[in-house]
Amino acid sequence: MRLNLIPVMAALLLSGCVPVQSVVNTAQLPSATEYGAHANPMEWWYVSAYLPGEGLALHWAQFRVQDARVPVPLMISHVAVTDLRTGQLTFLEQPAGSGEVSSPPLRLRQGTWTLTQAGTGPGAPLSLRAGPLDLTLTPVKGPVLHPPGYSGSADTGVLFYQGITRLALSGSVNGRAVQGQAWLDHQWGNQIPGQTALWDWFSVQLEDGRDLMVYRVRRLDGTVAQLIGSVVEPDGHVRAVRGLRAEPGEVWTSPTGRRYTLGWRLVSDGFDLSVRAVRREQELLSRSTRIAYWEGPVEVSGTWGAEPATGTGMMELVSGSWGPASGS
């Protein structure tokens, strides 16, 4: 009976009851190499990739949720694969249950889904085996802490934010050999998706070797609590984006009636970029986290300084909570 209560309590935690918030001190930033688990209500590790040459886009997420009402941390995981040639979107979930996190080297496990680091050095490859994914991810750049080191604000809660913005990807998806580039994120803190904050997030890998991250954190009433951006240069150096603006464009209404902004203009002191969703029908309704969100590949074009710029990436737009029983 106790095990049967775990998924129920996880659902309450993620969609019905905001847990007691732990204190997150943004004046004490973590190391960029801090991949292990933390004593915070919310934490996740995330891998995404758009593989234009393969006609595929994918993401995997491992959530770790902690609350005083549950005796052990709960693990929840997602895998989504979009076949752009057929238009098929596959979304798989592992509901709340037990799992394992250890570091260094990093090892995550929930059931048979694993992310395993081969060593402790900055270039140590990672193996991701989750459902249809059997991938090797080899860092091209070192880990970074995205300036200012966290996403969110005092009223939305904050998540420390570090990861690797470019990894060489090889392996197979649904048994089909693939290769390309991936992105790895790790966040932890006291912000609860859909309950204390929503967001619009962009990861862009430019053809000139730069990587751009833009994060627009929204309060539940839609007002913007924080807009941040970072650039990771080809040599791995990270810097904050100055004078950043995120201007919404085309809006798409999903079959569930939710509205997602699928076209954007990202502007700063150094660039002027247009972001276009490759495919509209990318809304995901998660039964395990009770969150509705859009996640899919994007193509980027514009200028960087005085030069033309092009790139590809992924975009995540969090709409809010979702109740599978009612479909609302």
Note the pTM of the prediction, 2 decimals: 0.93
Distance CA 34, CA 129 (A): 22
* CATH superfamily of this structure's domain 36-321: AttH-like domain (2.40.370.10)
Distance CA 121, CA 137 (A): 14
The tens digit of pLDDT for each residue in 162-179 reads: 999 999 999 999 999 999
The tens digit of pLDDT for each residue in 111-158 reads: 999 999 999 988 899 999 999 999 999 999 999 999 999 999 999 999
Mean pLDDT of 32-39: 93
Is the pLDDT at 255 greater than 70? The verdict is yes
Is the preceding peptide bond at 148 cis, omega within 30 degrees of 0?
yes
Distance CA 242, CA 272 (A): 12
Q: What is the mean pLDDT of the chain?
A: 92
Distance CA 92, CA 253 (A): 23
Contact 160, 28 (CB under 8 A): no
Tokens 């693990």 belong to: 75
Q: How far, in Å, are 33, 144, 205, 209, 217 from residue 239 at the CA level?
A: 17, 10, 15, 15, 19
The tens digit of pLDDT for each residue in 184-218 reads: 999 999 999 999 999 999 999 999 999 999 999 99
